[in-house]
Structure formats: C-alpha cells, structure tokens
C-alpha cells in the first residue's frame, strides 16, 4: 500500500515510527517478538503505516530494510527509512532494488544524523549523496534506469517521501530545498517536530501552493529533562519554555499522562492545517490509541 494513494483518496494519513533492536532477529527461534515488532503490532489499528528508522542518531541497530520486511510479515505497512550517511550510491541503489523486490512500497529518503551523535564516533561517514540527490536517484530507478543511465531489467515501484523542518531559519532556504525535493520526486513530506503553533502556521501558509501532502511530525516529550536536552543538542528543534515548565509541574510518575495531554493538544491545534500526522513516540507508542481518541473530529 502506497501512502500516496491514501493521500490521493483524501485520507488523513496517520503514521508512527519504531526503532529496530540492537541485535539479531532470527526467524523461527523461540521467545517473544522483538520490542519494535510488539510496539508496531500494538498500534497497527490506529495508524496507516509505521516508519522504520535507519540507525537513528547514528547508533548501530538491526538494518531498517530487514526490520521493514519483518513488519510487513506481521501485516503492518512499513515506511522504509534510507539514509545517505552509511552508503555510497552503489549501495543506496542496490538497497532500493532490494526493498522493492522484497515487497516494500514506501521509502523515506534522508541525509542521516551525523556520526558524532552516535555510538561509533570513529566510523567514517559516507554522504556520497544528499537527500535531494537520493530522491533523484530513486525516481530514476522508478523510471527504469540507474544513476549512470543504464537500463534496469525491471524498474522499481516505490512511493518516495521526504522530510522538511518548519523550524529552520532562514525558512526560505528550507522551502527552496523542499521545492527541489518535490522536483526530484518527493510525493509526501513528514515534518521535523514542531511545538510552536505560530511557527507551524507560518510554514503551512508558505507551502500552500506546493501541492504535496504534508504530515505534521511530533516527537513525544517524555520529561522536562528531555525537552531541555533537545533545545541544547538537537539542531533545528525548539521546545518553548512554557511547555517545559508545564511538564516540570508534575511529578515523574505523571510524565506519561502529561505527555499524552500535550501531544493531543498540539495535534488538535496543528494537524488540521495539513494532510496527516506522524508520531515519533520514542518507545511510548502506548500513548497513541488514547491520543487518537482525543483528537477525533479535529483532523480532516
């Protein structure tokens, strides 16, 4: 199922994401399913698809391709995240051919977090392509040719997604990059997390004529400490002080309830401006069913 087809049917598209385990998932072995599969299964009745992160924060995990295939086997529509950080153009093209051959329909094309954030800081980054070039290359594979113009025996058939950061300043540069991504084949966008309604509204007004579906992305704030860390260390993200104070105003045992309240409130206010919502729950996917119940009627 391609998410672009849902947008075309004017569905309000809801997605979430999971992070693969730091370990192997051998088929047929006894024991519980890996946590990321359990997490995805628990929300599949509330979302249309689930992103599978690709060594998120530059921390080594099970590959997003294998993890996406495992979700597909469990009846969950994956959005395969693919980053430029760890692969050159040969590997990127090969992985996209593999993804299509294994039955995946959706891919989110990303540049990737810098290695200094991760658990292998001495690793060498690749960044042979950036996210715009990755989209251009993926579009070429869909048209039946590789980056050098050689014909494929069979083209891929992938729905291509991209990301955009409404917080970025100057915004004009981010919008120019967004337009370049659209020109190179992006069929939908998921935004970086935004906590300021005015910032998001300004962004939405500027992109009204772009003609591409957008999902409002939201990282669930799990504690005031996490919010402060994001302000200090995550480029392009700002958590307003009043929101941090609101979270700090409850005891730690109340953080999850407060996170649910804040998440629902932000989605009620911001999601009606766009065509979908993307949750980034960071392991707190159990919030999603209740949040979805609270936002009924607020999302077109």
Rounded to the nearest 10°, the torsion over CA 10, 283, 60, 106 is: -10
Q: Is residue 291, in this structure, part of any structural domain at all?
A: no
Q: For residue 31, name the pLDDT band (cuts at 50, 70, 90).
A: low
CATH number of residue 150's parent domain? 3.20.20.220
277: which residues sit within 8 A by CB, 6+ positions away?
12, 13, 14, 15, 215, 216, 217, 218, 267, 271, 299
Q: Is residue 31, in this structure, part of any structural domain at all?
A: yes
CA distance 180 to 185: 9
Q: Is residue 203, in this structure, part of any structural domain at all?
A: yes
Q: For residue 28, name the pLDDT band (cuts at 50, 70, 90).
A: low
**What rounded mean pLDDT belongs to the chain?**
93
**Domain assignment of residue 144, given as a range:** 3-221+276-282
Look at residue 146 and tell me whether its pLDDT is greater than 80.
yes
Q: For residue 274, name the pLDDT band (cuts at 50, 70, 90).
A: very high
Q: Is residue 298, in this structure, part of any structural domain at all?
A: no
Percent over 90 (pLDDT), the chain = 81
Give the model confidence (pLDDT) of 98-123 as tens digits: 999 999 999 999 998 777 777 788 88
- The number of domains in the chain is 1
Q: Is residue 295, in this structure, part of any structural domain at all?
A: no
Q: Is residue 211, in this structure, part of any structural domain at all?
A: yes
Give the model confidence (pLDDT) of 181-191 as tens digits: 999 999 999 99
Q: Is residue 254, in this structure, part of any structural domain at all?
A: no
What's the pTM? 0.94
């Amino acid at each position: 199922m391609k998410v672009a087809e849902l947008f075309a049917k004017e569905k309000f598209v809801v997605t979430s994401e999971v992070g693969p385990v730091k370990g192997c998932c051998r088929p047929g072995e006894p024991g519980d399913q890996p946590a990321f599969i359990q997490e995805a299964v628990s929300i599949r009745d509330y979302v249309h698809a689930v992103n599978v992160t690709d060594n998120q924060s530059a921390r080594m995990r099970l590959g997003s391709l294998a993890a996406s295939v495992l979700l597909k086997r469990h009846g969950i529509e994956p959005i395969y995240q693919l980053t430029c950080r760890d692969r050159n153009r040969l590997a990127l093209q090969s992985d996209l051919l593999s993804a299509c051959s294994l039955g995946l329909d959706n891919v989110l094309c990303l540049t990737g977090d810098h290695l200094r954030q991760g658990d292998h800081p001495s690793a060498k980054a690749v960044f042979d392509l950036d996210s715009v070039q990755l989209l251009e290359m993926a579009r070429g594979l869909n048209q039946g040719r590789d980056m050098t113009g050689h014909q494929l025996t069979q083209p891929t058939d992938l729905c291509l997604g991209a990301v955009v950061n409404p917080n970025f300043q100057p915004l004009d540069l981010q919008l120019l990059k967004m337009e370049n991504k659209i020109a190179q084949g992006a069929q939908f966008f998921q935004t970086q997390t935004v906590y300021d309604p005015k910032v998001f509204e300004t962004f939405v007004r500027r992109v009204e004529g772009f003609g591409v579906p957008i999902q409002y992305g939201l990282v669930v704030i799990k504690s005031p400490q996490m919010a402060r860390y994001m302000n200090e260390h995550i480029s392009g993200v700002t958590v307003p002080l009043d929101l941090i104070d609101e979270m700090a105003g409850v005891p730690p045992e109340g953080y999850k309830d407060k996170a649910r309240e804040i998440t629902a409130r932000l989605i009620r206010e911001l999601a009606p401006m766009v065509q979908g919502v993307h949750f980034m729950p960071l392991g707190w996917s159990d919030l999603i069913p209740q949040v979805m119940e609270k936002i009924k009627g607020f999302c077109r």
